[in-house]
Structure 1
Amino acid sequence: MFGKVSRRVLAVSLLAALAGCNKTQTGGAIESGGSASAATPAVIQAACPQITLRDGTSSYRTYAKGAKDDPTKVVYQASLADTTRQCVQSEDALKVTVVVQGRVVAGPAGGPGKVTLPIRVAATDGKKTLYSELTQFPVEVPQGSASTQFVFTKADVTIPAGAGAEAKVFVGFDEGPYRTQ
Structure 2
Amino acid sequence: MIDRFAGRVGRFILPAGLALALAGCGSSGSSSTGEPSSAQKLGNILMFQSTTPPQPNQLPTDDEVNFACPSVIIADGGAAIRAQSGPDSGSLRSQVSITTTARECTQANKDGGFTLKVGVEGRILIGPAGGAGSYGATLVTQVMRNNQVIARRSARVGGAIPSGQTGADFSHVESNIVVPGGSGEIEIIVGLNTGGAEPARRRRR
Provide the TM-score with structure 1 as the length reference: 0.69
Number of the residue aligned with 1:88: 106
Asked if the contact 1:75/1:106 (under 8 Å) is kept, the reply is yes
Provide the residue aligned with 2:173 in structure 1: 153
* CA deviation string 1:99-146 (max 9, x = no partner): 112111011221222112111101111211111222122412233210
Does 2:133 align with 1:105?
A: no
Please give the per-residue CA displacement for 1:133-162, whole angstroms capped at 9, x wherever unaligned.
221224122332101122221113222133
Residues 1:142 and 2:170 are matched in the alignment: no
What residue in structure 2 maps to residue 34 of structure 1? Answer: none
The offset of 1:58, in angstroms, is 0.2
| Distance in 2, Cα, partners of 1:41 & 1:114 | 44
Compute the displacement of 1:178 (Å): 6.0
Q: How far does the alpha carbon of each residue in 1:8-54 deviate from its partner, in whole angstroms, 9 at most, with x for none?
A: 5423313546778xxxxxxxxxxxxxxxxxxx988454331111112
Distance 1:177 1:13, change over 3 A: closer
Q: 1:127 aligns with which of 147, 157, 178?
A: 147
| Paired letter, 2:38 | L
Greater Rg by CA: 1
- Give the TM-score of the pair, scaled to structure 2: 0.62
Cα distance in 1 between the residues matched to 2:97 and 2:161: 14
Instruction: Provide the aligned C-alpha RMSD in A.
Output: 3.2
Instruction: Find out whether 1:11 has 2:39 as its counterpart.
Output: yes
Q: Which amino acid aligns with 1:14?
A: L
Aligned residues: 153
Structure 2 runs not aligned, ≥5 long: 1-30, 49-59, 199-205
Q: How many percent of aligned residue pairs carry the same amino acid?
A: 24
Secondary structure, aligned partner of 1:14:
helix
Q: Give the counterpart letter for 2:193 in structure 1.
A: D
The equivalent of 2:203 in structure 1 is none
Contact 1:90 1:161 in 2 (8 A): no
For residues 103 and 163 of structure 1, what CA distance do their matches in structure 2 show? 36
Q: Which runs of 5+ in 1 are unaligned?
A: 21-39
Contact 2:46–2:117 (8 Å) recurs in 1: no
C-alpha contact (below 8 Å) 1:142/1:148 kept by paired residues: no
Partner of 1:33: none
